[in-house]
Amino acid sequence: MNSQDSLTDIIAILWKWRKKIVGITAVAAIGSILLSLTLSNYYQSTTVFFAASTDVNKPDQVFGRTNKATRFYGDDFDNDRLLTIASSSELVNFLIDSFRVADHYRMKANTPKRQFKLEKKFRSNLDVLKTKFDAISLSFEDKDPEFAATIANEARNQIGKITLNLLKTNQYQRIKLYEGSIAEKSKELKVIGDSLQLLRKRYNIFNIGSQGELLSQMATETESQLAGTRAALEEFKTMRGQRDTIQILTARVAKLDKELQTILGTNDSALFSIKLLREGMASTQVLQDRYSRLSGQLDFEKERLRQIKTVYSSNA
């Protein structure tokens, strides 16, 4: 019963003040309409684009030196990079300076904290986000639709330029690193080459494998001939053969023995022997392996440098 009385009282009060309530509501409605008519219209310009994959600028992908499929559209990392660039002061300040945004916003030069306020207002009109389709959506609002479109398009273009400059900076640094490494390895290769040449000249080593095989073969054949000739000489001596034949065989034994000593290297005057080969083989092999390994690395780095320079030039 009390609730019904309260509701009746409220209705009675509203009915009593109905004219004022209607009047106030009407004034508020008319005021809202008039206020909305005085507000400026804002136009939004939007551009949507996709991040390019860094694969298209990798030498291995460009020259087909990998089995990995080339991605033409960027992934989350590439999108994050574009979003970071879009919110950077570098981009914002470029657009503000290039299009005289301070004059466009009628912001006086003596305004306190002018640059801070200018950048804050500009950023409030700039919106960059990633869409559900992994594209980048960049929007700009302004009272002037042409100005909004110009800012949005130039922001997109400048994001591409900054991204390319970052990529080219990275490639340029890699080029300098490879050039420095190639210069150092070239010097080292020359030192090793000179040392290897001196060793080969000192021990008369030109090819360890073939020389070792040749000397072993020569030593075996000479030893065999020497043994056979000595046996024949002893047989002729035992049989008291002709003196001329014995002299010939004796001379041949001496000649073969000298040849064998030369091959073995027991003769100090030998320039080409097993002894010299053994003495210089280890050092020569070490330098030869280092030279071959370093030469291969140098060829690889030169080829990589050529590829990076090609990609770098194509991005000019």
Closest by alpha carbon to 298, among 171, 197, 193, 169?
193
Q: Given this model, what pLDDT does residue 58 score?
A: 61
Q: How confident is the model at residue 128 (pLDDT cuts 50, 70, 90)?
A: very high
The winner for highest mean pLDDT among 135-139, 168-172, 202-206, 244-248 is 135-139
pLDDT tens for 283-314 read 888 888 999 999 999 999 999 899 888 888 87
Q: Residue 219: phi, psi to the nearest 5? A: -65, -40
The better pLDDT of the pair 82, 11 is held by 82
Residues of the chain with pLDDT > 70, as a percent, come to: 78
Mean pLDDT of the chain: 81
Overall average pLDDT of the 48-73 stretch: 66
3-state helix/strand/coil string of 104-145: HCCCCCCCCCHHHHHHHHHHHHEEEEECCCCCEEEEEEECCH
Instruction: Decide: helix, strand or coil at residue 45.
Output: strand
Q: How confident is the model at residue 177 (pLDDT cuts 50, 70, 90)?
A: very high
Least confident range from 87-91, 222-226, 298-302: namely: 222-226
Residues of the chain with pLDDT > 90, as a percent, come to: 36
Least confident range from 39-53, 182-196, 243-257: namely: 243-257
Evaluate whether 101 touches 143 at the Cβ level (below 8 Å).
no
Q: Given this model, what pLDDT does residue 299 score?
A: 95
Q: Given this model, what pLDDT does residue 277 score?
A: 65
The better pLDDT of the pair 55, 287 is held by 287
Residue for token digits 């273009």? 157
Q: How confident is the model at residue 236 (pLDDT cuts 50, 70, 90)?
A: confident
Q: Does 31 score more than 90 pLDDT?
A: no
Q: Given this model, what pLDDT does residue 184 score?
A: 95
Give Cβ neighbours of residue 90 (< 8 Å, ≥ 6 apart): 162
Other CB atoms within 10 A of residue 284 CB: 20
Residues 214, 217, 220, CA angle at the centre, nearest 5°? Answer: 150
pLDDT tens for 98-121 read 999 999 988 887 878 888 999 999
Q: Given this model, what pLDDT does residue 107 score?
A: 85
Instruction: Decide: helix, strand or coil at residue 44.
Output: strand
Q: Does 234 score more than 90 pLDDT?
A: no
Closest by alpha carbon to 211, among 274, 151, 260, 132?
274
